[in-house]
Copies of this chain bind each other. A is one copy, B any other.
Amino acid sequence: MALSVEKTSSGREYKVKDLSQADFGRLEIELAEVEMPGLMACRAEFGPSKPFAGARISGSLHMTIQTAVLIETLTALGAEVRWCSCNIFSTQDHAAAAIARDSAAVFAWKGETLEEYWWCTERCLDWGEGGGPDLIVDDGGDATLLIHEGVKAEEEYEKTGKVPDPESTDNAEFKIVLTIIRDGIKADPKKYRKMKDRLVGVSEETTTGVKRLYQMQETGTLLFPAINVNDSVTKSKFDNLYGCRHSLPDGLMRATDVMIAGKVAVVCGYGDVGKGCAAALKQAGARVIVTEIDPICALQALMEGLQVLTLEDVVSEADIFVTTTGNKDIIMVDHMRKMKNNAIVCNIGHFDNEIDMHGLETYPGVKRITIKPQTDRWVFPETKTGIIVLAEGRLMNLGCATGHPSFVMSCSFTNQVNMSTNTHVS
């Protein structure tokens, strides 16, 4: 991998797919602004006083059109911004191009490799002289994780002289994280500690990231203040619920063109995301079955007329499977083997470990047929039947469609801006 940073004529760094898409991105950003009254009101209210003047903000959050409006709100309030995506498939390249050209340092493109992904994250955090950002806007906690792992490794190195060993882990992605940190220590053994020292705090966007933070808080390993944006009612009860109600069918339609009416759809998990997904599928005419381990959420599903079963009960009869749990190992390769021909399997939870992609990829004799990017048919050797997996098990609404629509993201992101505003660097 030989990635190199490029620079705009004004000297700002970036790495995007195609800067020539900036005009197209700008047109869609302008449309989105009309749909994002919360952010635009922030600009009107806080723009003149520039509360972020002098502040550096690093964001690790899907680099979409909506995020572009967030970024330009932050810059309108005075901030300097560097950005990367928090998912390898979620970048909209025209959005990245417009921001890179006009407003902030962007390191993101649709279809990154994992190596590229973490390179982008590291670029996003690296402000050169004077340490890292003042604030992090995180979604899923990868930026936060990199700093924490970096600090831990630097302290170990200082004590014992040992650098991190990528071979010490089986986890393919964590190997990459360790490699990046190892290389960083060689260049500057205080890099991540300088970041930590400068950092005022992080605001975390999503359920999964928040869970990570609470775990660190409990174990006393959290290195800086964190703000839970996710649990704002205008985030989790809007973005998770209404956002997914919109973007799940959008992703299904763009990826597969399949008729949802008349299908049997299984929604794994009936939290806010699951409720939005189930509502969307039911309204589109599917018969929805819910799997859920929380008894209260299960009872809510029943009250809405949904059948609650285990995945095993229905694995061979359903047409569409969606994971929304925020937990791992929900749909395993052994489930997938038993599914109907052309059953659709997808995930709309934050991380890609709800679906056992590793098990599928390494299944003996399995054959992958790429219908189009982010839509693969996997054929099992015994049955010759195939299943359709979307976005390689990652967030299907961002991988196969364009994520949540602007209006609901305005609700979410206005929380981000106000959280940041409240904690601005004085």
Query: CB of A41 within 8 A of chain B?
Result: no
| Nearest CB on B from A293, distance (A) | 16
> Is there contact, CB below 8 Å, between A405 and B258?
yes
Stretch at the interface among A1-9, A180-188, A232-240: A232-240
Partner of A283, one of B283, B287, B402: B283
A23 to B: closest C-beta gap in Å: 10
Kindly identify which residue among B237, B245, B257, B307 contacts A261, using a CB–CB cutoff of 8 Å.
Answer: B245
Check: A288 CB closer than 8 A to any chain B CB.
Answer: yes
The B-contacting residues of A in range 231-273, CB under 8 angstroms, are 233-234, 237-238, 242, 245-246, 249-250, 253-254, 256-262
Asked if A34 is an interface residue, CB under 8 A from chain B, the answer is yes
A-side interface size class: 35 or more
- Asked if A304 is at the interface (CB within 8 A of a chain B CB), the reply is yes
Chain B residues in 8 Å Cβ range of A408? 259, 261
Residues from chain B with Cβ under 8 Å of A54 in the complex: none
Binding-face segment, A203-211, A295-303, A358-366: A295-303
Distance in angstroms from A93 CB to nearest chain B CB is: 13
Task: Out of B35, B233, B253, B407, name the residue touching A401 (CB < 8 Å).
Answer: B253
Check B31–A405 contact: CB distance below 8 A: no
Give A258 to B409 CA distance when docked, in angstroms: 11
Which 6 interchain pairs have the tightest Cβ spacing?
Answer: A259-B405, A283-B283, A259-B407, A262-B302, A250-B253, A261-B303
A-B contact pairs, 10 of them (CB 8 A): A24-B371, A31-B377, A238-B299, A238-B303, A253-B253, A258-B405, A259-B405, A287-B305, A287-B306, A288-B305
- Additional A-B contacts beyond A28-B371, A259-B406, A283-B283 (11; CB < 8 A): A31-B371, A31-B388, A234-B296, A238-B299, A245-B284, A246-B253, A246-B260, A250-B250, A261-B305, A287-B307, A299-B411
